């Protein structure tokens, strides 16, 4: 993963509503959820969400698919894992054991 793509993704997630959308979609897993359900869970206006979905899509953090009259959004886990790998590739001078933190 290139640093420019990581910067774009982190910039997209630096806004509270977009971060909330992304976290919700990560929790939803591969199946994702329809835009209306995202709006309902976050108490957000559809027009506002449309703007945020566009920015997250441009950063390649989410994907969308049409099913009937609904648009489903899901997290792009390949990109998410690439970002995590990029951020941790030099962790503790390559000693990955030293970088492990206990789960909550």
Cβ neighbours of residue 17 closer than 8 Å, sequence gap 6 or more: 42, 44, 48, 52
Ranges of each domain in the chain: 3-99
pLDDT for the residue numbered 99 = 72
Cβ neighbours of residue 37 closer than 8 Å, sequence gap 6 or more: none
Helix, coil or strand: residue 59: coil
User: pLDDT of 54-100, one tens digit each?
Assistant: 999 999 999 999 999 999 999 999 999 999 989 888 778 777 677 77
Which fold is adopted by the domain 3-99? Arc Repressor Mutant, subunit A (1.10.10)
pLDDT for the residue numbered 103 = 65
Q: Is the pLDDT of residue 22 over 70?
A: yes
**Residue of higher predicted confidence among 27 and 94:** 27
């Amino acid at each position: 993963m290139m640093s420019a793509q990581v910067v774009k993704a982190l910039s997209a997630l630096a806004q509270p509503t977009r971060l909330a959308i992304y976290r919700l979609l990560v929790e939803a897993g591969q199946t994702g959820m329809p835009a209306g359900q995202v709006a309902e869970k976050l108490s957000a206006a559809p027009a506002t969400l449309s703007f945020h979905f566009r920015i997250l899509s441009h950063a390649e953090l989410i994907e969308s698919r049409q099913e009937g009259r609904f648009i489903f959004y899901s997290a792009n886990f390949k990109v998410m894992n690439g970002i995590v790998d990029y951020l941790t590739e030099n962790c503790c001078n390559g000693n990955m054991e030293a970088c492990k933190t206990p789960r909550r």
